[in-house]
């Protein structure tokens, strides 16, 4: 199944009981609202597919895994309601991963920024290459990682989350992300990464679905309030994106 969205897409393919969800946008796999909506829908769909035993989440290409929020859409936001709706898209994707009764394995083939870090953090198991550095750049444009924050903090801890959030202009290496628990495995090459992903997803595809679903509930225990929390956080970002500081910062980033 494929959903084309303004030069991008989200696809779902079932192979050997693995639901492979892939997203793409020509601007470094950034995330406009329509792709966020389609991603959440695809994750829900794969979670409800009895033929799928595990979900593999990946993006297209050889460069960035995900550049985060679409600057074009950020610049086009004119009201708090529009801002809330846009940032709620990230909430819906994270909550789709959280509530899905199947493990979500993320293939991180390149750099992660902002919402991309949030997706990698929300995944139950992220496997990356050593060039997959990470950055939470939101503060640099006057917002803050409010929506993805709970997922990132849950995965790496409050100290590492604070470091990423405050030093918003600096990249952290894949090795750093591995040590903090964001990446479960890091490999020298894409070939080695894909071999590791194949091994893991094949093993999971032949594991007890009920046991995996029960384990996932245990892993995510204490996050039941995220349906409300992440939407509340989206409202904070939706308001801040209208500030003069943020508008000017976004325009500077778009010109780079």
Please, what CATH class does the domain formed by 2-205 belong to? alpha beta
How far, in Å, are 42, 82, 141, 244 from residue 75 at the CA level?
27, 11, 11, 11
**For 154-198, what is the HEC assignment?**
HHHCHHHHHHHHHCCCCCECHHHHHHHCCCCEEECCHHHHHHHHH
Q: What is the pLDDT of residues 64-117, one digit of tens each?
A: 999 999 888 999 999 999 999 999 999 999 999 999 999 999 999 999 999 999
The position carrying tokens 């990698």 is 120
Q: Are 233 and 239 in contact (CB under 8 A)?
A: no
Selection from 98, 118, 120 nearest residue 109 by Cα:
120
pLDDT in tens, the chain (256 residues): 656 566 799 999 999 999 999 999 999 999 999 999 999 999 999 999 999 999 999 999 999 999 999 888 999 999 999 999 999 999 999 999 999 999 999 999 999 999 999 999 999 999 999 999 999 999 999 999 999 999 999 999 999 999 999 999 999 999 999 999 999 999 999 999 999 999 999 999 999 999 999 999 999 999 999 999 999 999 999 999 999 999 998 888 777 6
Other CB atoms within a 10 A radius of the CB of residue 46 amount to 25
User: How do the domains of the chain map onto residue ranges?
Assistant: 2-205
Q: Are 152 and 115 in contact (CB under 8 A)?
A: no
Q: So what's the pLDDT on residue 256?
A: 66
Q: So what's the pLDDT on residue 6?
A: 62
């Amino acid at each position: 199944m494929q959903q084309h969205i303004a030069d991008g897409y989200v696809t779902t393919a079932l192979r050997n009981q693995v639901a492979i969800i892939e997203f793409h946008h020509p601007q470094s796999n950034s995330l406009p609202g329509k792709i966020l909506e389609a991603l959440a829908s695809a994750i829900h769909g794969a979670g409800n597919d009895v033929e799928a035993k595990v979900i593999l989440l990946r993006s297209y290409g050889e460069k960035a895994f995900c550049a985060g929020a679409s600057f074009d859409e950020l610049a086009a936001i004119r009201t708090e309601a529009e801002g809330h709706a846009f940032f709620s898209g990230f909430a819906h994707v994270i909550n789709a991963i959280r509530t899905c009764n199947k493990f979500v394995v993320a293939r991180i083939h390149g750099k992660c920024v902002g919402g991309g870090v949030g997706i990698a953090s929300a995944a139950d198991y992220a496997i990356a290459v050593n060039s997959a550095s990470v950055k939470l750049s939101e503060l640099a444009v006057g917002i803050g990682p409010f929506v993805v924050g709970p997922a990132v903090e849950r995965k790496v801890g409050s100290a590492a989350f604070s470091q990423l959030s405050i030093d918003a202009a600096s990249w952290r290496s894949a090795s750093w992300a591995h040590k903090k628990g964001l990446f479960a495995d890091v490999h020298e090459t894409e070939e080695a990464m894909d071999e590791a992903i194949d091994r893991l997803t094949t093993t999971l595809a032949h594991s007890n679905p009920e046991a995996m679903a029960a384990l996932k509930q245990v892993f995510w225990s204490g996050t039941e309030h995220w349906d409300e929390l992440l939407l509340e956080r989206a409202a904070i970002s939706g308001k801040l994106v209208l500030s003069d500081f943020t508008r000017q910062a976004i325009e500077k980033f778009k010109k780079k």
